[in-house]
Structure 1
Amino acid sequence: MNDRSAPPERRLDRRIPLGCAAAIHLPGSVTVEAECIELSISGMTLHSTYVPGESETIEVSVSSPNGAAPLHARLEVKRCHALGGGRYEIGGAIVQVLG
Structure 2
Amino acid sequence: MNDRAAPPERRLDRRIPLGCTALIHLPSGDTVSAECIELSISGMTLHADYVPGESEVLKVSVVSPSGAAPLVTRLAVKRCHSVSPGRYEIGGAIVKVVE
**Is TM more than 0.5 here?**
yes
RMSD across aligned positions (CA): 1.0
The superposition leaves residues 43-64 of structure 1 with CA deviations (integer Å, 9 ceiling, x where unpaired) of 0000000000111000000000
Q: Identity over the aligned pairs, expressed in percent?
A: 76
Partner of 2:79: 79
TM-superposed CA distance for 1:91, in Å, is 0.1
TM-score, L = length of structure 1:
0.96
> Where does structure 1 differ by over 4 angstroms across 4 or more consecutive aligned residues?
none
TM-score, L = length of structure 2:
0.96
**Structure 1: segments with no counterpart, 5+ residues:** none
Partner of 1:26: 26
- Quick one: which amino acid aligns to residue 23 of structure 1? L
The superposition leaves residues 30-81 of structure 1 with CA deviations (integer Å, 9 ceiling, x where unpaired) of 1000000000000000000000011100000000011000000000000000
- Quick one: which amino acid aligns to residue 43 of structure 1? G
Partner of 1:55: 55
**Structure 2: segments with no counterpart, 5+ residues:** none
